[in-house]
Structure 1
Amino acid sequence: MTAQPRLFSPKVLPMAPGAQPPGSQGDGVLEQLGLPAERAELVAEIRLGFPVVVVERLVNALQLPQHLLLRIARIAPATLARRRRTPDARLSPDESDRLYQIASTFRNAVALFEGDAAAAAGWLKEPAKALGGVAPIELLDTGAGAAEVSDLIGRLEHGVYA
């Protein structure tokens, strides 16, 4: 006799008036940075290159020194200064993609902290035992590191701490 797999079916609870659905608490992060929230528009904006002002907005949102964000995004300060002097003042698509990786992780951290951007920014800068004692922000300079931080956020959202 073979055992039948049991399917898990979560209960759907009614939401309180004015409450946000789970995961939506970080949805305003991209808009605050001046970036489109809709995926196709976002891809087009990355391909065009983000406006340089996104760097300053992300620095303010993350409460980081600009030189640290530039190091993580692998943008030379001289390159940023040169881009600011161009008529359209845009980053390259590669630079924009790396900034999006950071912004997306921040958005997920804000959702983890139920909309508290300051707490999320603080968490990103604190060493995490689950990341070998490295601050999550320090891992966002590579795709693999960003995936590791995203995995950690997912585990924390589901109460899996190890």
Structure 2
Amino acid sequence: MRLDSIDEYMSLESAGIVEVVREGVPALAIDSLARAMGVPRAQLMAWMGWSVASVERKIRARATLSKSAGGQVLSTIRLISQVQRMVHESGNSEGFDAAIWLANWLKESSPALGCVPPGEYMDTAEGFNLLSDTLARMQSGAYV
């Protein structure tokens, strides 16, 4: 399954996400994700705990990411989708950019996470679960 944009990834159901991870997420997806979020590629790699040199090699070779790294990319996209859905359900989402909002949230200290920036949790699957749960609590008003 070849996907060319972040929006295509965002539209996937769980089974489709598993298929994409198994087939391999293209390393170039890092560039698309970084552009969508308005952050440098190096920032994404730092949040995810990746070696810049090895990911840069994969990007130049147009290779795929490891299953673990591909899962992290797709988990980030799922967080963007979650934010977009939250805003849509809570009111008017016209003009709202979920990817940019998420990137800004990931950078800032969060009282709900012990004053640690949420991006610090993107290096593990459990960290992504924690971020998703925190976003859900924000929507329900049970934030702190």
**TM-score normalised to structure 2 length:** 0.77
Choose the corresponding residue for 2:21, options 46, 57, 60: 46
Q: Could you list the runs of 5+ residues in structure 1 that have no partner in the other structure?
A: 1-29
Q: 1:111 and 1:135 mapped to 2: Cα distance? A: 22
Q: 1:121 and 1:112 mapped to 2: Cα distance? A: 16
Choose the corresponding residue for 2:59, options 76, 84, 103: 84
Task: Quote the residue 1:133 is aligned against.
Answer: 115
Task: Quote the residue 1:104 is aligned against.
Answer: 78
State the secondary structure of the residue aligned to 2:25: coil
Q: 1:159, CA displacement in angstroms?
A: 1.5
Q: Could you list the runs of 5+ residues in structure 2 that have no partner in the other structure?
A: none
Q: 1:143 and 1:50 mapped to 2: Cα distance? A: 16
**TM-score normalised to structure 1 length:** 0.69
Choose the corresponding residue for 1:37, options 4, 12, 27: 12
Report if the CA contact (8 A) 1:139-1:149 is conserved: yes
The percentage of aligned residue pairs carrying the same residue is: 27
Q: 1:33 and 1:104 mapped to 2: Cα distance? A: 10
1:55-114 deviations in Å (ceiling 9; x for gaps): 00111122222112112223322212322343x521121210122222222322333344
Report if the CA contact (8 A) 1:52-1:89 is conserved: yes
Q: 1:146 and 1:41 mapped to 2: Cα distance? A: 19
The answer to whether structure 1 residue 147 and structure 2 residue 129 are counterparts is: yes
Count matched residues: 132
> Could you say which structure has the larger radius of gyration?
1
Report if the CA contact (8 A) 1:48-1:92 is conserved: no
